[in-house]
Structure 1
Amino acid sequence: MAQKSAKQLAVKNSARLKQTHLITLVIHALFLLLAFTFRRSLRLTPYLTLCAPALGLEYWLDTIARPRYDEAGNLKRAGEDLDAPGLTEFFWDIIYWTWINLIAVVAFGNRGWWLYLVVPIYATYAAVTTASGLKGMLGGMAGAGGEGDGSVQAQSKRQQKMEKRGGQKMQYR
Structure 2
Amino acid sequence: MAQKAAKTLAVRNTSRLKQTHLITLAMHAIFLFLRLTLRSSLSLKRYVLLSAPGLLIEFYLEKLARPSYNPDGSLRRAGEDLDAPGLTEFMWDIVYWTWINLILVMVLGNRAWWLYLVIPAYAIYAAVTTATGIKSSFAGLAGGGGEPSAASQGQGQSKRQQKMEKRGGAQRVAYR
Give TM-score scaled by structure 1 length: 0.74
Distance 1:131 1:72 in 2: 50
Q: Does 1:56 align with 2:56?
A: yes
1:50-83: CA deviation from partner (whole Å, max 9, x where unpaired): 1111111111111121111222222222111111
Q: 1:66 to 1:154 in 2, by over 3 A?
A: closer
1:72-110: CA deviation from partner (whole Å, max 9, x where unpaired): 222222111111122211211111111111111011010
User: Whose helix proportion is higher, 1 or 2?
Assistant: 1
Over the matched positions of the two proteins, sequence identity in percent amounts to: 59
Q: Does 1:67 align with 2:67?
A: yes
Q: Does 1:142 align with 2:146?
A: yes
Amino acid at match of 1:87: L
1:104-158: CA deviation from partner (whole Å, max 9, x where unpaired): 10110101101112233344455566777867x96x742229xxxxxxx9775x9
For structure 1, the residue ranges without an aligned partner over 5 or more in a row are 146-152, 159-166
1:11-34: CA deviation from partner (whole Å, max 9, x where unpaired): 101100000000001111111111
Q: Is the 8 A contact 2:14 2:66 kept in 1?
A: yes
Which stretch shifts more, 110-119 or 37-46? 110-119
Q: How many residues were matched structurally?
A: 155
Distance 1:62 1:154 in 2: 58
Distance 1:2 1:61 in 2: 26
| Partner residue, 1:85 | 85
- Residue pairs, 1:1-173, within 5 angstroms: 1-125=1-125, 141-144=145-148, 168=166
User: What do you get for the CA RMSD once the two structures are aligned?
Assistant: 3.0
For structure 2, the residue ranges without an aligned partner over 5 or more in a row are 158-164, 170-176
